[in-house]
A and B are shown apart, each in its own frame.
Chain A
Amino acid sequence: MMITVLVIALAVCAVTLFYLAVRSRIKQSGQSIRPVNLKAFRTLMDRGDEYFLKERLPRSKFTKLKRQRIRVTARYVGRIAGNASAVLHMGEAARLSPAPEVAQTAVQVMELATHIRLQCLLAMTKLAVEYALPSLQLTPAMLVPKYQVLRENVSRLGNLQRGNVTPLAAGI
């Protein structure tokens, strides 16, 4: 009977997943590049600020504040992940460009975007752990340099194509 309950639970999870996939696809159809303030993102990740708050604030208040900071950081990471996903989608068309340089740059951009998605997954996991245990210090610090390289490459792709991708590079 236990196995039956588990199988039914799995089926319910599958149906929920299908529903989320349909919803996500509808959202994706209107997906666009959204700006990310990297300066603010870096400030949020600054451990110096965190040490300062930890020394000045009572433990309970610090915990509450840190969790707030993590929530905001997670939103930034989510936005970067969304932008990387949009770049992947837009890169699909550019990858098939008859101009070899455009196609090559598109492949590079897509590879980097994939890498950033993976980094975002790791960063989100780390943030989740820190949210659960605020005394821990795990920061997605490795995300910023990669994202900057993505910006540069997308900008290069935009210049090569001289088309609609230019606002994309400016956007991210």
Chain B
Amino acid sequence: MLYAGFMSFSTVIHEVWFLGLVLQVLLAVVLMVRGMWKKFPIFTTYTLFSLLETAVLYAVFRNQVLYTYFYVIGESVLYILGLALVYEIFIHLFAAQPALRKMAGMVFRVVVFLLVLLAGAVLYLKAPLIAPHGSGGISALLIVEESARLLQVGLIMFLFLFSSAFGLHWRQHVFGITLGLGIATVVELVAVTVALHAGPTLVKVLNLAHVASFDFSIMIWLGYLALPERVTNRADVPHRAQLEQWNQAVTELISR
């Protein structure tokens, strides 16, 4: 919602934004009622702060100075909470994998280091873009946000890649939280990256996509957290006779 200052909100954006506020209230209720705040304290803090930020921004969006001020503070806090949330997901993902935890921790630190370097490089290489822009402050903020989101997206990608390489099973709630965070962060990354080169019309579209994607992420969180966790169906383990039939078929296929 950074571009509120230099663009007029259409009714659609306003309504989508309001929908997000309602959804966040609903999510907060679900987290409290289902006692999820004990299991995911950082996610709960993230959600509650995001709700607070949205409510405050919604209340002051007509005042450009106040809006920018609250936006910068709110997004900075949310960003730090977002990074902490990635770490909370990491802890949950590897809680049941004692053999992998140490190696994953090591790789995680290396990935953080490389991503910080990458984010720094983006910041450095894009710094010259600040000067020619009319609103230098806004473009500087966009570049900083781009670097920051790059780090966050990279970490979420690492979690998915690492778990996929080792065939780890994602628990429903942890998966939902990661997926929602991932989608919201990726859209935000694209929005801030493109906004720097975009005209006012495209900025409006990006703004709508950004707000809509966050609403979509909240829906994902609601869906995954409200539903009870599925229990593994052990009945899926096939009988030996069936296994032997499959085995024979594959063997025939190989030896033909």
A-to-B contact residues, CB < 8 Å: 1, 3-4, 7-8, 10-11, 13-15, 17-18, 20-22, 24-25, 28-35, 37, 40, 44, 72, 81-82, 84-85, 88-90, 92-93, 95, 107, 110-111, 114-115, 117-118, 121, 164, 167-168, 170-171
* A32 shortest CB reach to chain B, Å: 5
- Answer yes or no: B227 CB below 8 A from chain A CBs: no
Contact A14 B157 (CB under 8 A): yes
Contact A167 B247 (CB under 8 A): no
* B237 shortest CB reach to chain A, Å: 5
| Candidates B96, B98, B166, B169; contact of A117 at CB < 8 Å | B166
| Candidates B96, B146, B237; contact of A32 at CB < 8 Å | B237
Contact B232 A171 (CB under 8 A): no
Sorted nearest first, the 8 A-B pairs with minimum C-beta distance are A85-B167, A111-B99, A35-B247, A114-B99, A89-B169, A164-B234, A92-B96, A35-B243
Contact A167 B193 (CB under 8 A): no
* A150 shortest CB reach to chain B, Å: 13
Given contacts A18-B160, A111-B99, contact A167 B236 (CB under 8 A): no
Q: Mark B219-256, 1 if CB is under 8 A from A, else 0.
A: 00000000000101010111110011011001100110
| Candidates B165, B194, B247; contact of A121 at CB < 8 Å | B165
| Contact partners of A28 in chain B: CB under 8 A | 169
* Extra A-B contacts (20), CB below 8 Å, given A17-B161, A171-B237: A1-B197, A3-B122, A3-B125, A7-B122, A10-B189, A11-B186, A14-B182, A17-B160, A21-B175, A32-B237, A35-B246, A44-B254, A82-B167, A88-B97, A93-B232, A111-B99, A164-B237, A167-B238, A170-B243, A171-B243
| Contact partners of A40 in chain B: CB under 8 A | 251, 254-255
Name B's interface SS: helix
Contact B99 A167 (CB under 8 A): no
How far is B236's CA from A171's CA once the two chains are assembled, in angstroms?
A: 12
Name A's interface SS: helix
| Contact partners of A114 in chain B: CB under 8 A | 97, 99-100, 166
B-to-A contact residues, CB < 8 Å: 96-100, 122, 125-126, 146, 150, 153-154, 156-157, 160-161, 163-170, 175, 179, 182-183, 186, 189-190, 193-194, 196-197, 230, 232, 234, 236-240, 243-244, 246-247, 250-251, 254-255
How far is B236's CA from A72's CA once the two chains are assembled, in angstroms?
A: 26
**Count, A-B residue pairs, CB within 8 A:** 130
| Contact partners of B166 in chain A: CB under 8 A | 85, 88, 114, 117-118
Given contacts A4-B193, A11-B186, A35-B243, contact A21 B99 (CB under 8 A): no
- Residue among A14, A15, A111 with the highest chain B CB neighbour number at 10 A: A14
| Candidates B179, B182, B183, B238; contact of A171 at CB < 8 Å | B238
| Contact partners of A17 in chain B: CB under 8 A | 157, 160-161
* B107 shortest CB reach to chain A, Å: 12
How far is B99's CA from A91's CA once the two chains are assembled, in angstroms?
A: 12
| Candidates A7, A29, A81; contact of B150 at CB < 8 Å | A7
Closest to A7 in B: B193
How far is B229's CA from A29's CA once the two chains are assembled, in angstroms?
A: 12
Contact B193 A170 (CB under 8 A): no
Contact B186 A15 (CB under 8 A): yes
